[in-house]
């Protein structure tokens, strides 16, 4: 979509999204510190630092949990799509909160003159062979490094440089980071504190992520089963009127990628269901201003040939379509990206 | 999401989730009892 790369292409939606996010983080941290200080007043400077460490750590964990829930939620209900729009900024802010947590931890050791003991804790190699007693801070450092990698490659420059397929694969490491954080807490603070709140937080957060992914995955599985081809090797979509005007029906051959068949009045075209930007489901989008528009970030493509309108250069794979005995059919063999393939519905077929 | 990506996701994600779940349960079960 972008002609030239800029650090951030700000718009009103992103500013509002980031403002709400920042306000939520500030309020959470403030309330956490206030309540903790009220119930367990800090005895000294290190006690006070400890409260802030817990506040930022808890906040980072909850932010990671929400980030991982956005994907499946957006699949299950389109009303969650606005959360997906600026998820990258959410991720970068999570990294910032996490690194503040780590910095405060260093400050806690420094204030007690115990930085050498921190180094010793991380380099006592025998402890790495234990389970209870495993240097849990190492798990936190590993998670932080993954979050840094995510934040550092969050810009569209890396998306284009690495290609969407590689970039998306790389960003799946966020799940590994989440697992590391759960174990960091379980083998860290949960070993010394017996409040029910910590296990509840971990079970509640990870459990929510798991349930949402399972439900969304089961729903997506149905779409992957595909449908049988006709005797001539085409995919039957349905009568032209079964395709909503300015919308699409999504079909797939067994074992094949999904195909979005759009109708714009009396024109029908079939494009790959994968947006060139981040492989979003363009078939769930609509035709706006004459262009197929991805519901995730608004990338647009002409129905006629799958090309982004000038000056943009993205191209999508297209598919041949025909009207056969009153039914729209799609040839599941993909054409080269940008190949014109849309047809006009004959008056006799509509 | 690409089909291949969904397949990898469906294979790796449950393994990761199971590993983390086992780790959490063991951490809870094996931790030292609270001081009396």
What is the rounded distance in angstroms from the CA atom of residue A269 to the CA atom of residue A302? 9
Alpha-carbon distances of A32 from A35, A57, A58, A93, A185, rounded to whole Å: 5, 11, 9, 18, 17
A94 pLDDT higher than 50? yes
The answer to whether position A5 is within a domain reads no
- Clarify whether residues A208 and A278 are in a common domain: no
A228 is a domain residue: no
Tell me whether B31 touches chain A (CB under 8 Å). yes
Asked whether residue A37 falls in the same domain as residue A184, the answer is yes
CB–CB of A165 and B16 under 8 A?
no
B36 in contact with chain A, both atoms CB, cutoff 8 A: no
pLDDT of residue B9: 81
Q: Which residue has the tokens 């004959």?
A: A346
Task: Tell me how far apart the terminal alpha carbons of chain A are, to the nearest angstrom.
Answer: 34
pLDDT (mean) for A157-184 = 91
Phi/psi-derived region of residue A329, left when phi > 0, alpha when psi is between -120 and 50, beta in every other case: beta
How far is Cα B29 from Cα B22, in angstroms, rounded to an integer?
10
Q: Given an 8 Å threshold on Cβ–Cβ distance, is A206 in contact with B32?
A: no
How many residues are listed for chain B in this entry?
A: 36
Do A199 and A327 share a domain, yes or no?
A: no
Q: Which of A197, A223, A249 is the last residue of a domain?
A: A223
Mean of pLDDT values over A19-37: 97
pLDDT of A1: 45
Q: Is residue A171 included in any domain, yes or no? A: yes
Determine, yes or no, domain membership for A230: no
Overall residue count recorded for chain A in this entry: 350
Residues A62 and A178 in one domain: yes
Mean pLDDT, residues A251-276 taken together: 92
A224 chain-B contacts, CB cut-off 8 A: 3, 6
Q: Is the pLDDT of residue A28 over 60?
A: yes
| Within-domain flag for A229 | no
pLDDT > 60? residue A350: no
When CB atoms are compared, the residue of B10, B12, B28 closest to A199 is B28
How confident is the model over A133-145, as pLDDT tens digits? 999 999 999 999 9
Identify whether A156 is part of a domain.
Answer: yes
Q: What is the SS3 assignment for A40?
A: coil
Domain membership of residue A185 (yes or no) is yes
Q: For residue A281, is pLDDT > 60?
A: yes
Structural domain total, chain A? 2
- Are A28 and A168 in a shared domain? yes
* Single residue among A174, A197, A223 that ends a domain in this structure: A223
C-alpha torsion B14→B16→B18→B22, nearest 10: 180
**Residue A211 phi, psi dihedral angles, 5° rounding:** -60, -45
A247: CATH: 2.102.10.10
DSSP of A240-276: GGGSPBTEEEEEE-TTS-EEEEEEETTEEEEEESB-T
In this prediction, the answer to ipTM > 0.85 reads: yes
Nearest CA in chain A to B11: A217
Specify whether A159 is located in the same domain as A301: no
> Where is average pLDDT lowest: A128-137, A154-163, A325-334?
A154-163
Percent of chain A whose pLDDT exceeds 90: 76
Closest CA to A106 of A152, A62, A52, A64: A52
Question: To the nearest whole number, what is the mean pLDDT of chain A?
Answer: 91
- Residue A302, pLDDT > 50, answer yes
Q: What's the rounded mean pLDDT across residues A327-344?
A: 94
Based on the fold, state whether residues A314 and A218 are members of the same structural domain: no
A287: domain range? 235-344
Tell if the CB–CB gap between A279 and B2 is shorter than 8 Å. Answer: yes
For residues A78 and A160, membership in a common domain is answered with yes
Which of A168, A179, A217 lies closest to B16 in CB terms?
A: A179
B29 to chain A nearest CA, in Å? 10
Assigned domain for A270 exists: yes
* Residue A111 belongs to domain with CATH number: 1.20.120
Helix H or strand E encompassing A34 = helix A12-39
Query: B22 at the A interface (CB within 8 A)?
Result: no
């Amino acid at each position: 979509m972008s002609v030239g790369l800029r650090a951030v292409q700000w718009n009103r939606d992103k500013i509002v999204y980031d403002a709400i996010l920042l306000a939520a983080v500030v309020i959470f941290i403030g309330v956490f510190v206030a309540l903790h200080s009220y119930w367990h007043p800090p005895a000294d400077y290190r006690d006070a630092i400890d409260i802030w460490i817990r506040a930022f750590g808890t906040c980072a964990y909850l932010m990671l949990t929400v980030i991982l829930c956005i994907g499946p939620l957006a699949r299950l209900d389109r009303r969650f799509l606005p959360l997906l729009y600026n998820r990258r900024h959410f991720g970068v802010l999570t990294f910032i909160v996490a690194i503040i947590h780590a910095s405060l931890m260093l400050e806690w050791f420094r204030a007690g003159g115990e930085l050498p003991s921190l180094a010793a804790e991380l380099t006592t190699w025998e402890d790495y062979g234990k389970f209870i007693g495993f240097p849990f801070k190492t798990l936190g450092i590993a998670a932080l490094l993954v979050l840094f990698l995510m934040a550092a490659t969050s810009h569209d420059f890396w998306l284009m440089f690495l290609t969407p397929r590689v970039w998306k694969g790389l960003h799946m490491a966020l799940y590994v980071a989440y697992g590391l954080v759960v174990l960091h807490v379980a083998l860290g603070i949960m070993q010394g504190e017996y409040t029910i709140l910590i296990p509840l937080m971990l079970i509640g957060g990870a459990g929510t992520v798991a349930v949402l992914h399972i439900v969304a995955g089961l729903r997506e599985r149905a779409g992957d089963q595909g449908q049988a081809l006709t005797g001539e090797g085409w995919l039957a979509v349905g009568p032209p009127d079964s395709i909503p005007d300015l919308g699409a029906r999504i079909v797939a051959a067994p074992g094949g990628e999904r195909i979005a068949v759009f109708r714009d009045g009396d024109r029908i075209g079939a494009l790959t269901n994968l947006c060139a930007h981040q492989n979003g489901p363009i078939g769930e989008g609509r035709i706006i201003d004459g262009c197929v528009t991805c519901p995730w970030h608004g990338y647009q493509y002409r129905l006629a040939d799958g090309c982004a309108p000038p000056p943009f250069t993205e191209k999508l794979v297209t598919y041949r379509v025909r009207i056969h005995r009153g039914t729209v059919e799609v040839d599941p063999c993909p054409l080269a990206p940008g190949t014109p393939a849309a047809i006009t519905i004959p008056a006799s077929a509509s | 999401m690409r089909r291949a990506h969904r397949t990898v996701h469906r294979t790796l994600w449950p393994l990761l989730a199971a590993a983390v779940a086992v780790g959490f349960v063991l951490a809870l079960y094996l931790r030292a009892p609270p001081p009396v």
